[in-house]
Amino acid sequence: MAILQMHTLPDSILRQKAKKITAIDSSIQKLIDDMIDTMRANSGVGLAAPQIGISLRLAVIEIPESGKVITLVNPEIVKRQGERILEEACLSVPGYYGEIKRAEAVTVKARDRNGKNFRLKGRNLLAQALEHETDHLDGILYIDHIDNPEKLYKVSE
Ligand SMILES: [Zn+2]
């Protein structure tokens, strides 16, 4: 278990399309554990592998008070429903938050850490996290969804 270094803008790894995971071996299991530690150490709701410098299609999500970690291996969003405006931030874009449009509900298909296929439908914060983390795997950041630069705010200390 280890806390990994966070990669932030303008690190180019955040802009790469991450590679599919072909085998969930012991090195991937260790990476998942380290990503969970790193997400918790940074009080994040989710973390994608490119954020810790590894260009693989892997993300973890832990909705506060849900009591469970969702591990997404090779996730794909298969359905988006509705639309809403919300505030979003990212550990790789420190010091800022912005107002963007996201879906109300999102359905994702992925493998879990045991390699089992699953589908998950999320609403509210889970829908937001599923879209945010899956975006990371395609080199997309929430700031790319901001259409008006005035909707990007600096966090005041
Ligand atoms: Zn992020």
CA–CA dist 38, 23 (Å, integer): 22
Residue 157 has pLDDT above 80, yes or no: no
Phi, psi for residue 22 in degrees, rounded to 5: -95, -35
Would you state the CATH architecture of domain 12-154? Alpha-Beta Complex (3.90)
Domain segments of the chain as ranges? 12-154
Q: Annotated active-site positions, please?
A: 133
12 touches 42 (CB < 8 A): no
Whose CA is closest to 46, among 144, 137, 114?
137
Whose CA is closest to 18, among 63, 61, 49, 64?
49
119 DSSP β-pair partners? 109
Residue 114 CA to ligand 1 center (angstroms) comes to 24
3-state secondary structure (DSSP) of residue 42: coil
Please tell me the predicted confidence (pLDDT) of residue 64.
92
Please tell me the predicted confidence (pLDDT) of residue 151.
95
Mean of the per-residue pLDDT values of the chain: 97
Residue 2 CA to ligand 1 center (angstroms) comes to 19
List CB-based neighbours of ion ligand 1 within 5 Å.
90
3-state secondary structure (DSSP) of residue 39: helix
Residue 1 has pLDDT above 80, yes or no: no
Query: How many percent of the chain have pLDDT more than 90?
Result: 95
Please tell me the predicted confidence (pLDDT) of residue 24.
97
Q: Give pTM, 2 decimals.
A: 0.96
Residue 18 CA to ligand 1 center (angstroms) comes to 14
Residue 35 has pLDDT above 80, yes or no: yes
Per residue in 87-106, pLDDT tens?
999 999 999 999 999 999 99
Average pLDDT over residues 14-38: 98
3-state secondary structure (DSSP) of residue 129: helix
